[in-house]
Structure 1
Amino acid sequence: MSRLKLNKIVVENFQLIAGDTLSKVILSYQVFGRLMGTAPLVLVNHALTGNSQVLGENGWWNDLIGEHKTIDTQRYTVLAFNIPGNGFLDATNLIENYKAVATYDIAKLFWNALDILKVKEVFAVIGGSLGGAIAWEMATIRPQSVQNLIPIATSWKSSDWLIGNVLIQDLILNNSKNPIHDARVHAMLLYRTPESLHQKFKATIQEGNEIFQVESWLLHHGKKLHNRFNLASYKLMNHLLKTIDVLKNRTIEEMAKTITANVYLVSIDTDYFFTADEIRCCYTEMKKYKQNVSYHQIESKHGHDAFLIEYKQLHKILKSIFKL
């Protein structure tokens, strides 16, 4: 990938919810589409191994964002922050004490940056997986500053299943001789489903090799992430998944009545990471106290990763939101 120039904001003496203080946080970001202040602002939050490059060369949401796409860059300003410590184009901006940081802290940092950018209200905050969880946290921190909240393939609280898998990933990252590679190999199985892998490989041996195609595919993804990601970054991103909790000792009623945003909950029927059942439960509970909340479901064989694959279904869900 060609070297990209990132915009940067410095936040000093930032206090974490756990009590620690980060003396200096460099928050990098990219802006796409209309100039800041000239159009409604859409904030896109990236997932665990993602970054601020949401469109363009190597853009991970090119099928959803761009000119004449679902989120039309001729109509909107699209802003994407890098989660501090994700290492994107900057191996110096890392957070070594990763267990002191929570998703709440990342959401609070994003709001601090928006204050510096003189943004008072956001038209939409959208993200998948970890990015969606941060969107949730942002909406609860400033419940009247987001018009549309769109958390995709994520939930408002880390489940026991998710916390358990974060532990396994953390053990691999801290004990394996090849930690990023091996953790990624394990994680890829969580992001897909047995049906997805059978459809793709059908238990066949790779031609000219003595390993199964699925093994070759997993090893390829492990090597690919190893070549582009930093160990401290992976430890932080993985840890954040277990810290999701938007209620913060409040009742669901208190939280639901406070948020003024239109809330669009999007699940994936085969997601093992954030199950459709837990997202439906979230919808059912919120609907008791809030009218402008809706539930949508992507049907896919591909599991959690479907939010990066099923663009046509996602477009159908989102098109009414982003049609000004």
Structure 2
Amino acid sequence: MSQLNFIHLPEVALANGLKIPINLSYQVFGDLQSANPVVLVIHALTGNSNVCGVNGWWNDLIGPNKIIDTGRFTVLAFNIPGNGYDGEEAHLIENYKDFVAADVATIFDLGLKQLNIHHLFAIIGGSVGGGIAWELAARNPDLCEHLIPVACDWKSTDWVIANCHIQDAILNNSKVPLIDARMHAMTMYRTPESFSAKFDRNQHENGLFYVESWLNHHGNKLTSRFKLSAYKLMNQLLKTINITQNGSEFLSVASKISAHIHLVTINSDLLFKPEECWKTYVDLKSVKDNVSIFEIKSIHGHDAFLIAFDQLSKFLLPIFQTKQNLNENHQRYTIRNW
């Protein structure tokens, strides 16, 4: 497993005006001594910086001879502060509702500067990680050549906000908040068709439906690796994705992003609806040529970005095998002062 490293940021100004210290943790996968292009990977709600290798949650995409080949790219992954993976608690922020997705982009941008990384080949993230990728690109429009937000949008819709509100109520009122919130979330991450295909109304001998035991399993499993404070914070971030701050318009902000934007949506996603992503694509195409979209076809809903690797790989392959991009201005990708 890649070593966990830390960057101390003594003072980070949050969007609400608060200033707090942050210990930003990260892992690196690939050759630190090379001048390989850098890919920043941003994890989802219950994910972390361990994106490949032992227990890597995106092993199907990232690693030696994978689509994002750690022999050709240096992969960098920050932990969203407060996710608990690095032992740092979310109580470093007195009120988790003071924290918004744009604040994570601010922290990541400061972290990149501390690592003396001023240009990225790509930023890729799934779900809330994709939303934060949007936020980072909006904050630093010339940071990357390729922006790849997966199973997300540049904003949290009313539907996303509503479900995050329910999650927050469960997390603050349930007797077993992690278990109950996770069970509810799993019904949003999958679809009725996915459940029917997987369980077909089958029951155990004790009368418990397979779907019930599956939900119980996922609820109980999360308690062994995730803290309540982390869930509250991450749910708050999912609720607050919005690159149009201070009255700005989406096209005004997004048109300034120089990167090629590759949108990835899922036809059955019940959380970040594909209709929203397609609208984003159509709107962007009116002001920006270097935009593309790919729709994963799956019955498994939002979680398909963690399941349908064959489809996702086919879409990503041309991006990460572009030799011309890898050879041009090679030195600007160099990582220094680790």
TM-score range, shorter chain: over 0.9
Number of equivalent positions: 320
What is the CA deviation profile of residues 201-231 of structure 1, one whole-angstrom value per residue up to 9, with x for unaligned ones?
001002x432000000000000000111111
> Is the aligned partner of 1:217 residue 2:214?
yes
Alignment of 1:37-76 (within 5 A): 38-76=35-73
> Cα RMSD between the aligned structures?
1.3
- Given candidates 278, 281, 295, the residue that maps to 2:279 is 281
**Aligned position for 2:239:** 242
SS of 1:320's equivalent in the other structure is helix
**Aligned position for 2:122:** 124
What is the CA deviation profile of residues 160-179 of structure 1, one whole-angstrom value per residue up to 9, with x for unaligned ones?
10000000000000001101
TM-aligned CA distance change 1:96 to 1:57, over 3 Å:
farther
Q: What are the ranges of 5 or more consecutive residues in structure 2 without an aligned counterpart?
A: 324-338
Q: What are the ranges of 5 or more consecutive residues in structure 1 without an aligned counterpart?
A: none
**Aligned position for 2:139:** 141
Alignment of 1:72-111 (within 5 A): 72-92=69-89, 94=91, 95-111=93-109
TM-aligned CA distance change 1:61 to 1:244, over 3 Å:
same
TM-aligned CA distance change 1:261 to 1:278, over 3 Å:
same
**Aligned position for 1:183:** 181
In 2, the alpha carbon distance for the partners of 1:69 and 1:176 equals: 42
What is the CA deviation profile of residues 27-69 of structure 1, one whole-angstrom value per residue up to 9, with x for unaligned ones?
0000001216621000000000000010111111000001111
SS of 1:149's equivalent in the other structure is strand
Percent same amino acid at aligned positions?
52
- Given candidates 180, 201, 204, the residue that maps to 1:203 is 201
8 Å contact from structure 1 (residues 162, 273) kept in 2:
yes
8 Å contact from structure 1 (residues 123, 148) kept in 2:
yes
In 2, the alpha carbon distance for the partners of 1:156 and 1:92 equals: 27
Q: Which amino acid aligns with 2:148?
A: I
SS of 1:54's equivalent in the other structure is coil
Q: When the two structures are superposed, what TM-score results if normalisation uses the length of structure 1?
A: 0.96
In 2, the alpha carbon distance for the partners of 1:82 and 1:36 equals: 22
Q: Which amino acid aligns with 1:90?
A: G
> Is the aligned partner of 1:228 residue 2:254?
no
**Aligned position for 1:308:** 306
In 2, the alpha carbon distance for the partners of 1:117 and 1:109 equals: 12
SS of 1:147's equivalent in the other structure is strand
Q: CA shift at 1:288, angstroms?
A: 0.3
8 Å contact from structure 2 (residues 5, 25) kept in 1:
yes
